[in-house]
Amino acid sequence: MATAELDDGFFRVRTGRTSDPERAYLRAMAELAPGPVRSGEVAAVLGKKITAFGPTRDSLIKKAVCYSPRWGEIDFTVPMFDAFTRRWIPDLDSVVDRPDL
């Protein structure tokens, strides 16, 4: 019950303004989580070069969904965000195979 309340309230508010590329990036991060992950690993999950995701990563940091604990790393700003993202977007392929990403 508490998880559902967090999903429908707290987490949904944070993800409500995310774009499709941002959602794909978040889902790829969740695939690699928990903890900080290398930005290059996220790009590899999405099948693109790391340079393709600079603006997406920056936008997620500005929206306070993610932060960079060290150079080249990215992490969720809130505990359990990775688990929420896997529930929210259960199929990684549904966001990775899109041509606009």
pTM: predicted TM-score of the whole model, two decimal places: 0.83
For residue 98, being part of any structural domain is answered with: no
Residue-wise pLDDT for 26-64, tens only, equals: 999 999 988 899 999 999 999 999 999 999 999 999 998
Measured between alpha carbons, how far is residue 45 from residues 15, 64, 76 in Å? 20, 22, 17
**Mean of the per-residue pLDDT values for the chain?**
83
Instruction: Give the model's confidence band at 7: pLDDT under 50 very low, under 70 low, under 90 confident, else very high.
Output: low
For residue 100, being part of any structural domain is answered with: no
For residue 82, being part of any structural domain is answered with: yes
Domain range holding 65? 2-92
Nearest alpha-carbon partner for 18 in 80, 97, 95, 99: 95
Top pLDDT among 65 and 87 is at: 65
Bridge partner residues of 66 (DSSP): 76
Q: How many domains does the chain have?
A: 1
Instruction: Give the model's confidence band at 9: pLDDT under 50 very low, under 70 low, under 90 confident, else very high.
Output: low
Top pLDDT among 90 and 12 is at: 90
What is the domain-level CATH number for residue 10?
Answer: 1.10.10.10
Can you give the pLDDT at residue 8? Answer: 60
